[in-house]
Amino acid sequence: MKALLTILGIVAAALGSPALSSACPLVSGLPDSNCDGRLVIAVLGDSLVAGIGDSIHSGKGGYVLRAAQRFPDATFLNFGEAGTTATNIIFDVERGFAGRGHASLKAGLVEADLVVLDVGRNDQWRAQSPLATLRNLKRIQTTIHNNVRQLTGHNALIVTAVLMIPKRLRQAPWIGELNGLLRSSNSTSAPTDLRFDTIPKRYLSADRIHPTSQGYDKLASVFIAYMSNLYPAHVKKLRPDRDRDGLYDEFEAERFGTDPSVTDTDYDGVSDGADSDPLN
């Protein structure tokens, strides 16, 4: 009977019956980590996120714009703000989740499949230690994790960038130290493997901290390679799909009512991820 139903399911699929309603789909070839049918990437940071110095795009856009052009079906939210620090972002994120302004930031963090943090270089001006900045970056992550889990029931995916190194005398070694701390804190649940520190200094503009437009092309190529290779690898680890039906374990029982260990919960021959009505 099951074999017959399987054949019927294959025939139904071939005839183009309504299906694929519930699988966590690929969007522009990239995994939809929160399984809502959209791919949203929220990038939080300072002027290098905003794209200051990107002269061919009127001084804004930067690597986030270039990634949006490369993955047209995905939504890239640019929360870059010139001069901001890790401390400022803690406050922005906390206020956003508390409903005190920053509503678009809150909305973006809640729907994001991936949150990118690229901030810390301005913290040096506050005469604080790189270790204090690392702690503040962790606090941003904890705040996002706690609130997103409370509001959606699932864990956010957050990557913290290792920063592009400026050519400024005091700032460069300070950022070098922060980058060392970031690199050694890399883990599966809190990756720091977006490596903007690999961009050569010759791509900096005359102000010695912002990239030129060619520099932003380089940042974009690092970011696009990240999205294409490491982001899917993280999703694979952090969103296991034991029965390989296209629905991640953590969404099966809770959101779809399906069994995360059974490919075809209602035994109708159509796998849960392709079944328009996976329970009947």
Residues that bind Ca ion (CB under 5 A): 32, 34, 36, 38, 113, 241, 243, 245, 247, 264, 266, 268, 270, 275
C-beta closer to Ca ion: residue 38 or 139: 38
* Rounded distance between C-alpha atoms, residue 119 and residue 46, angstroms: 6
**Closer to Ca ion at the Cβ: 118 or 241?**
241
Which CB, 105 or 156, lies closer to Ca ion?
Answer: 156
Strand 30-31 with 26-27, pairing: antiparallel
What is the smallest separation between the CB atom of 280 and Ca ion, expressed in angstroms? 9
Q: State the DSSP code for 229.
A: I
Query: CB 71 → Ca ion: shortest distance, Å?
Result: 13
Residue 277 beta carbon to Ca ion: minimum distance, rounded to whole angstroms: 8
Quote the least distance from Cβ 61 to Ca ion, whole Å.
23
- Please state the closest distance from residue 39 (CB atom) to Ca ion, in A: 5
Q: Could you give the CA distance from residue 14 to residue 276 in angstroms, rounded to a whole number?
A: 15
For Ca ion, the nearest residue by Cβ is: 275
State how far the Cα of 120 lies from the Cα of 3, in Å rounded to an integer: 58
For residue 86, the Cα-to-chain-centroid distance in whole angstroms is 18
Q: How far is the CB of 217 from Ca ion (least distance, A)?
A: 27
Contact present, 54 and 46 (Cβ < 8 Å): no
Closest by CA position to 141, among listed 120, 171, 167: 120
Tokens read off for 70: 């490369």
Q: Which is nearer to Ca ion, 96 or 260 (CB)?
A: 260
Residue among 34 and 160 whose Cβ is closer to Ca ion: 34
List of residues 6+ apart from 68 with CB closer than 8 A: 74, 75, 76
CB of 43 vs Ca ion, minimal distance in Å = 15
Q: Which is nearer to Ca ion, 211 or 269 (CB)?
A: 269
d(CA 38, CA 20): 14
Q: Contact at 8 Å (CB) between 48 and 207?
A: no
Element at 30 (helix H, strand E): strand 30-31
Q: Choose between 207 and 277: whose C-beta lies nearer to Ca ion.
A: 277
